[in-house]
């Protein structure tokens, strides 16, 4: 950018103040995570007394042990993996072919079909009709219902369509000469060229599946099928009022606070593991989707 040798004293001060402000913002972003982690590693007694500020006091991993012996924790963790992997694959199975077809100029009624997709981004029937529809389709309390019911999303289709449209026609000419049909052109030419865009869409799906809470809460009653987020909510809101857990706590080295904190940490870890990819592809993705509708 600007020439670095010409800084005045005012500029130096400006740069320093700026860095201090950014550091403060970053610390305030990070602090709640540090606090929760420290809380999860402290003894129940210190946590209940509100003594944890920055670092763990009376370091212990009892809260984690308590979380990990709970069968429901593992059931819901497994379910979250099923919904995330199944849901993402299902989404790609719909979105990639759909976006490809919409990107082809020879598609008859292309503008109309694009409008059919885009309209769902501006107007949706709302919670009640969606719920009644899922019920009428017999998709309540079902793995398949969660996986199929949220497979397609207008924004992801349009994002991928924009990317496909940006690929020059010349890339497919050789394949066409060899007599490749549409399926082969998509599979052998477009998909390899679109790896970054497909990665972006996959990550959008993975994050929204992993974090998905509201519809899982509404559509799933069976405890064997609930994902981690719904279980987490049960633990955080209901543990305080749970009498058997209250009795258990009397002599326990953990407390409601440390157990909640431990389970929060356990469910953040997978997101942290894929975070380098998320950061790389997400910013590109939101800008790509915004180019045109």
Partner 1 sequence: MTNDPNFSGPTTEQLVFDATESQRRRKRTRIQKVGDHLKREWQLYALLLPTIIWLMVFLYKPMYGLQIAFKDYSVFRGIAGSPWVGLEHFHTLFENDQFLRALRNTIIMSAYGLLFGFPVPILLALMFNEVLNQTFKKSAQTIVYLPHFISSVIIAGIVMTAFSPSAGIVNTIIGWFGIEPIYFLTKPEWFRPIFIGTGIWQEAGFQSIVYLAAIAGVSPTLYESAVVDGASRWQMMWKITVPSILPTIIIMLIIRIGNILEISFEMIILLYQPATYETADVVNTFIYRQGLQGGQYDFAAAAGLFNAVVAFILVMTANTISKRYSRTSLW
Considering only residues 268 to 287 of the shown chain, the ones binding partner 1 according to CB under 8 A are 268, 271, 275, 278-279, 282-283, 286-287
Residue of the chain from 61, 82, 92, 152 that contacts partner 1 (CB under 8 A): 152
216: CB partners within 8 A, 6+ apart: 83, 146, 226, 227, 229, 230
Cβ count near 197 (within 10 Å): 25
Q: Is 169 in the site for partner 1 (CB under 8 A)?
A: no
Nearest one of 253, 53, 221 to 145, comparing CA atoms:
221
Read off the DSSP letter of residue 251: T
In angstroms, give the least distance from the CB of 65 to partner 1: 19
- Find the helix or strand (DSSP H, E) in which 272 lies: helix 256-289
180 binds partner 1 (CB under 8 A): no
Of residues 219 through 238, those in contact with partner 1 by CB under 8 A are: 229-230, 232-233, 236-237
Q: How far is the CB of 282 from partner 1 (least distance, A)?
A: 8
Q: Work out how close the CB of 287 gets to partner 1 at its nearest, in angstroms, rounded to a whole number.
A: 5
Nearer to partner 1, 23 or 72 (CB): 23
Rounded to the nearest 10 degrees, how much is the dihedral formed by the CA atoms of 268, 273, 279, 285? -90
Query: Is-contact 117 158, C-beta < 8 A?
Result: yes
153 DSSP assignment? -
d(CA 41, CA 254): 9
* 79 vs 267 by CB, closer to partner 1: 267
Q: Tell me if 19 contacts partner 1 by CB under 8 A.
A: yes
Q: Site residues for partner 1, window 87-146 (CB under 8 A)?
A: 93-95, 97-98, 100-102, 104, 106-108, 113, 116-117, 120, 122-133, 136-137
Rounded distance, CA 178 to CA 242, Å?
Answer: 68
The crossing angle, in degrees rounded to 10, of helices 154-165 and 110-122 is 140
Mapping DSSP to helix (H, G, I), strand (E, B) and coil, where does residue 17 land?
A: helix
Contact 38, 248 (CB under 8 A): no
**Of 28-36, 56-64, 70-78, 243-251, which part binds partner 1 (CB under 8 A)?**
28-36
Q: Determine the size of the site formed for partner 1 (CB under 8 A).
A: 101
How many CA atoms lie within 13 Å of 38's alpha carbon, on the beta-carbon side? 16
Considering only 67, 76, 88, 149, the residue that binds partner 1 (CB under 8 A) is: 149
Choosing from 41, 146, 157, 226, the residue that interacts with partner 1 (CB under 8 A) is 157
Contact 243, 94 (CB under 8 A): no
Distance CA 97, CA 268 (A): 33
Tell me the C-alpha distance between 266 and 77, whole Å.
10
Indicate which single residue of 155, 210, 254, 281 sits in contact with partner 1 (rule: CB under 8 A).
Answer: 210
**Choice between 72 and 237, CB closer to partner 1:** 237
Shortest reach from residue 238's CB to partner 1, in Å: 12
Nearer to partner 1 among residue 52 and residue 205 (C-beta): 52
Q: Is the CB of 61 or the CB of 266 nearer to partner 1?
A: 266
Binder of partner 1 out of 59, 166, 173, 181 (CB under 8 A): 181
Subset of residues 244 to 263 that bind partner 1, contact rule: CB under 8 A? 255, 257, 260-261
Taking CB under 8 A as the criterion, the residue among 218, 242, 245, 252 binding partner 1 is 218
Residues numbered 59 to 78 that lie near partner 1 (CB under 8 A) are none
């Amino acid at each position: 950018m600007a020439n670095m040798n010409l800084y005045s004293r005012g500029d130096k001060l400006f740069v320093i103040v700026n860095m201090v402000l950014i550091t403060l913002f970053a610390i305030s972003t990070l602090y709640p995570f540090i606090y929760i982690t420290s809380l999860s590693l402290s003894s129940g007694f210190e946590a209940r007394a509100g003594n944890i500020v920055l670092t763990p006091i009376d370091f212990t991993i009892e809260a984690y042990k308590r979380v990990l012996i709970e069968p429901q924790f593992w059931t819901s963790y497994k379910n979250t993996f099923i919904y995330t992997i199944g849901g993402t694959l299902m989404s790609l199975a719909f979105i990639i072919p759909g976006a490809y077809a919409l990107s082809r100029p020879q598609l008859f009624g292309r503008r109309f079909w694009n409008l059919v997709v885009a309209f769902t981004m501006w107007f949706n029937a709302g919670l009640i009709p969606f719920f009644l529809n899922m019920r009428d389709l017999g998709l309540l309390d079902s793995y398949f219902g969660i996986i199929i019911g949220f497979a397609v999303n207008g924004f992801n289709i349009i994002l991928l369509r924009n990317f496909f449209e940006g690929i020059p026609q010349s890339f497919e000419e050789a394949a066409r000469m060899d007599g490749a049909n549409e399926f082969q052109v998509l599979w052998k030419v477009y998909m390899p060229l679109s790896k970054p865009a497909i990665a972006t869409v996959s990550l959008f799906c993975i994050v929204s599946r992993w974090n998905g809470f509201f519809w899982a809460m509404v559509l799933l009653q069976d405890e064997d099928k609930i994902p981690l987020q719904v279980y987490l909510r049960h633990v955080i809101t209901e543990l305080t009022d749970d009498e058997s857990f209250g009795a258990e706590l009397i002599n326990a080295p953990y407390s409601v606070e440390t157990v909640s904190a431990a389970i929060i940490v356990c469910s953040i870890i997978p997101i942290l593991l894929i975070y380098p990819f998320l950061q790389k592809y997400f910013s590109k993705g939101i800008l790509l989707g915004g180019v045109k509708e």
